[in-house]
Amino acid sequence: MGNYNNMAFLVLALVGFMFLSKANGAIHYYYFHLQETNFTKVCSTKSILTVNGTFPGPTITVNKGDTAFINVHNQGYYGLTVHWHGVKNPRNPWSDGPENITQCPIQPGTSFTYEVIFSNEEGTLWWHAHSDWTRATVHGAIVILPATGTTYPFATPDAQETVILGSWFKGDVMEILEEALAEGGDPNVSDAFTINGQPGALYSCSNGTTYRWLVDYGKTYLLRVINAVMNEEQFFGIANHTLTVVAQDASYIKPLTTSYIMITPGQTMDILVTANQPPSQYYMASHAFMDGINVSHHNGTTTAIVQYNGNYSTPSNISLPTLPAEANSTAADNFIKQIRALASKEHPIDVPLKIHSRMFIAVAVNERICANSSCQGPDNNALSASLNNISFVTPSVDVLQAYYQYVQFFSSIKQLLVILIFYYDGYFCHFNNDSCKCYYFYC
């Protein structure tokens, strides 16, 4: 009886705890409709896979600690998954997204609802498809505002703006990847970089659609920059304006003042920009940082216009920012080495200081031997990424599900519940006295 009471207390305490921790944040619901949509850019038209027909896709906005349910309905031609880049999603790996790692692809004509749990992230992140090269067109911003009742670790900005750097390929991205994998060489480089979907004035057929950001003189803006470019690190800056970087990857940093940033693919930076220049129009611009020799990459510059509201004559020449040259690794290093975590009382960091073992990991773009030297990579072999000389091959089963079911099987043995295991043609079944549970093991 005493035991029973203790147990009841424990259960109540547990339920109460769960209730409290759930009650912290608001719940949001989003519907993503994956569909093919035609776009014309850099003088050519093609169909791309999009969310709701837009490139980039819709923004998800939450407060720190909220939960978002995103129902993804796939009406495209191929199966895919969506990843919530940088969201820790505690104890909820089922919604992380990488194809065949945490889930099977969402097949055309079907839906999947992600439960995205925001915990200690605050700032900017992004979501993107996580199957082959689908992320090139299926991506969008995640804006995580401070928790209700809390503020930024800097004066509240007057307004916000999101800038997504992207890549535009005239060819079909899935075909480009397939071709590269079949031939073993570098994939085709993109035909343009984009800012919020637009290549900008320096590319052909693009001047008229250049993205414009309207600002008011004297206001301070929180500019959220996301590098959704397929493969290149990028320099970015705004003519005549100083950038104050205050966060990266949804973590605050000590404010860093600079005329340019270097941002890697997948990374985000939150930047304070004060519109304190003579009311006019100014370019923001971005091009690759590439110091590798003979590494194929796109070498163009994308631009957008920062346009002051007000009554002034349109400048005949819009100033471009002076960005470091493409191969200037000193400029990249000079920027990176200034980055420090904010590490304040409200935004502490917890870096382990005691090191138990040291690992040496060699990350490489390696060579895989190709039959008859028939590939287009170096030495007529195929390019293959590796860690310590081992390349990862995506399995055709969902690894998380497989792992979870084996774990369940072994813990069941401990409890002497499993009498028989039956495994046939992808079905994995547990039998006990009065029931049988089967799982379809493959995608």
Residues at the interface with ligand NAG (CB under 6 A): 30-31, 33, 36-38, 47, 52, 58, 99-100, 171-172, 175-176, 179, 188, 201, 207, 239-240, 277-278, 280, 293-294, 299, 311, 316-317, 319, 324-325, 328, 330-331, 334, 371-372, 374, 394, 396, 442-443
* Partner from ligand NAG, Cu ion, none binding residue 47, C-beta < 5-8 Å depending on class: ligand NAG
Residue 328's binding partner, choosing from ligand NAG, Cu ion, none, with beta-carbon cut-off 5 to 8 A by kind?
ligand NAG
Instruction: Considering the complex, state which of residue 85 and residue 430 has its C-beta at the smaller distance from Cu ion.
Output: 85
275 residue type, one letter: A
# binding residues, Cu ion (CB under 5 A): 1
Are 301 and 202 spatial neighbours (Cβ–Cβ below 8 Å)? yes
Site for Cu ion in 56-85 (CB under 5 A): 85
Instruction: Name the minimum Å distance from CB 141 to Cu ion.
Output: 13
Residues 84-123 that bind Cu ion (CB under 5 A): 85
* Nearest distance in Å: CB 346, ligand NAG: 31
Is the CB of 142 or the CB of 305 nearer to Cu ion?
142
**Shortest Å distance, C-beta 373 to Cu ion:** 35
Binding partner selected for residue 374 from ligand NAG, Cu ion, none, CB under the kind-specific 5 to 8 Å limit: ligand NAG
Question: Of Cu ion, ligand NAG, none, which one does residue 278 interact with (CB within 5 to 8 Å by kind)?
Answer: ligand NAG
Residue 75 binding target from Cu ion, ligand NAG, none, CB below 5 to 8 Å by type: none
From the list Cu ion, ligand NAG, none, pick the one residue 38 interacts with, judged by a Cβ distance below 5 to 8 Å according to partner type.
ligand NAG
Smallest separation, CB 89 to ligand NAG (Å): 19
Task: State the binding partner of 85 from ligand NAG, Cu ion, none, CB within 5 to 8 A by kind.
Answer: Cu ion
**Is 139 near Cu ion (CB under 5 A)?**
no
Q: Which residue is nearest to ligand NAG (CB)?
A: 171
Q: Which residues of this chain interact with Cu ion, rule CB under 5 A?
A: 85
